[in-house]
């Protein structure tokens, strides 16, 4: 079964690039996959790149925060990068604030944030 | 403008008949009033002249001679007063009232001045009526009818006046809320957004999208939102600001709010908004400083 979300690793850094138009099950599978990879590669930093995502519903927004929370429980730090203006607006209107999760404009910035924090 | 007023000032459902009814103006009264038309036509110019020339009638401090547009005003007043004696019940009469109200609004004629002139003219006409009348009881009846019709006439004009005024205010507010908000680049990665005017939900949505797009385009890492020019901040506006700043954070940029005046601070505390959500800085200078520090992080 082909994975819809490619996950690449570099050192202790894991990068998951979310593709456009993910179904609910795709998102759930992505969550499992990320958590498995974090354990397998003992990654300490995870970046979730959502710059390709151009629509999001309430389920999607909740899954984003769930993924972030579960990765933290696995002992890794996570940053969400590349949230588009429309997505940011939609998330705010849906009431999701990602309160304790660092966000960044792009991958470079996201990596820098995770580095500085450690 | 005329069309706007006509649509906001609803004509009474049963036509003017209903309004005349409120003021107890009967068919007989209207006949009596329209009988006065020749008398009024003959004397109206003299009455207006007397009103303006007598002491205290109309003297603007420091004004030499009639101010610009005064002739227009007098022409309109003559026309307006004569309309009373038509005592019409049709749409034309109603439209005339609306027009008179609009005229007063446009020329800045206050209701008191309008009513003063009107009362003056009616009293003069009543004086003339009494002098010329042969039958005293009939003259008294006519006078009563005239006063009732005049009250009704005035009420409708004042109503149109206040509708015109409300409309003018709303229009100005709309213009103010449509002021564009520039997103300025202070330095690489640092944006400044001075918000001026009234923040309603439509405008704040636009503002948020503008800021978010600018963050993306310019790769901004910090935004300073200055609300010195926002007159009042209620819970809705505060909510909009918080939403804007949350969206900014989701994009990965820091935001700083500056320009909170003492009054705004007090009203924010009263509606339960604390500082943390807004990340405030004292003034623009310190706000920019804070934002620069955030950039270096």
Establish if B209 touches chain A: CB-CB under 8 angstroms: yes
Structure tokens at B235: 């819970």
Q: Is B261 helix (H, G, I), strand (E, B) or coil?
A: coil
Query: Considering CB atoms only, which of A89, A110, A116 is closest to B247?
Result: A89
Q: Name the β-bridge partners of B192.
A: B184, B224
Which residues does chain A have within 8 Å of residue B212's beta carbon, measured at their own beta carbons?
85, 88-89
pTM for the full predicted model: 0.59
CATH architecture entry for B184-296: 2-Layer Sandwich (3.30)
| A109/B252 touch (CB, cutoff 8 Å), yes or no | yes
Which of A109, A100, A108, A114 has the alpha carbon at shortest distance from A45?
Answer: A114
Q: What is the pLDDT of residues B72-102, one digit of tens each?
A: 777 888 888 887 777 666 667 777 777 777 7
Cα B52 from chain centroid (whole Å): 28
Establish if B247 touches chain A: CB-CB under 8 angstroms: yes
Establish if B297 touches chain A: CB-CB under 8 angstroms: yes
ipTM: 0.83
Structure tokens at A68: 């972030």
Residue of B nearest to A106 (CA): B252
pLDDT number for residue B62 = 42
CATH (one of 3.90.480.20, 3.40.50.720, 3.90.550.10, 3.30.750.24) for A7-117:
3.30.750.24
How far apart are alpha carbons B274 and B283 in whole angstroms?
17
Give the mutation candidate from B240, B246, B248 for the A interface (greatest A CB count, under 10 A): B246
Establish if B227 touches chain A: CB-CB under 8 angstroms: no
CB-based contact A58:A24 (threshold 8 Å)? no
CATH class of B2-175: mainly alpha
Structure letter (DSSP) for residue B9 = S
B189 Cβ contact list (under 8 Å, min separation 6): B218, B219, B220, B221, B222, B295
Number of other CB atoms surrounding residue B229 within 10 Å = 12
Which of A57, A63, A60, A103 has the alpha carbon at shortest distance from A83?
Answer: A103
Domain ranges of chain B: 2-175, 184-296
* pLDDT of A61 strictly over 70: yes
Domain ranges of chain A: 7-117
Counting runs of H as helices and runs of E as strands, what totals does chain B give?
Answer: 13, 4
Q: What is the pLDDT of residues B180-233, one digit of tens each?
A: 788 899 998 899 999 887 777 778 888 888 999 999 999 999 999 998 888 778
- Count residue pairs from A and B with Cβ separation < 8 A: 55
How far apart are alpha carbons A62 and A42 in whole angstroms?
25
């Amino acid at each position: 079964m082909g994975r819809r979300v490619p996950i690449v690793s570099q050192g202790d850094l894991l990068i998951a690039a979310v593709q456009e138009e993910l179904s609910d099950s795709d998102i759930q599978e992505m969550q499992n996959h990320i958590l498995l990879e974090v354990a397998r590669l003992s990654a300490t930093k995870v970046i979730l790149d959502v710059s390709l995502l151009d629509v999001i519903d309430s389920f999607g927004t909740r899954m984003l925060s769930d993924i972030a929370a579960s990765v933290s429980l696995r002992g890794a730090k996570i940053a969400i990068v590349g949230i588009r203006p429309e997505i940011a607006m939609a998330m705010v209107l849906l009431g999701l604030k990602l309160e304790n999760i660092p966000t960044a404009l792009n991958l470079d910035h996201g990596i820098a944030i995770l580095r500085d924090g450690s | 403008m005329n069309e706007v007023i006509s649509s906001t000032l609803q004509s009474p459902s049963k036509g003017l008949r209903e309004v005349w009814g409120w003021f107890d103006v009967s068919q007989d009264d209207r006949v009596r009033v329209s009988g006065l038309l020749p008398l009024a036509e003959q004397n109206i110019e003299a009455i207006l002249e007397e009103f303006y020339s007598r002491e205290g009638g109309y003297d603007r401090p420091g004004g030499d001679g009639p101010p610009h547009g005064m002739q227009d005003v007098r022409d309109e007043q003559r026309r307006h007063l004569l309309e009373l004696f038509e005592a019409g019940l049709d749409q034309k009469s109603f439209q005339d009232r609306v027009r008179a109200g609009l005229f007063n609004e446009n020329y800045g004629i206050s209701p008191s001045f309008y009513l003063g002139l009107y009362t003056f003219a009616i009293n003069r006409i009543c004086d003339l009526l009494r002098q010329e009348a042969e039958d005293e009881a009939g003259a008294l009846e006519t006078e009563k009818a005239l006063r009732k019709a005049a009250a009704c006439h005035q009420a409708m004009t004042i109503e149109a006046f206040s509708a015109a005024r409300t409309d003018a205010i709303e229009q100005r507010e709309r213009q103010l809320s449509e002021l564009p908000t520039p997103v300025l680049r202070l330095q690489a990665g640092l944006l400044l957004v001075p918000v001026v005017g009234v923040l309603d939900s439509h405008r704040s949505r636009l503002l948020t999208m503008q800021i978010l797009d600018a963050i993306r385009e310019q790769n901004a890492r910090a935004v300073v939102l200055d609300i010195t020019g926002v007159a009042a901040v209620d819970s809705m506006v505060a909510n909009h600001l918080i939403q804007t700043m949350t969206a900014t954070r989701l994009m990965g940029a820091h935001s700083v709010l500056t320009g909170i005046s003492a009054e705004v601070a007090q009203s924010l505390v009263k509606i339960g908004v604390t500082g943390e959500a807004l990340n405030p800085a004292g003034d623009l200078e310190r706000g920019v400083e804070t934002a620069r520090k955030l950039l270096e992080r």
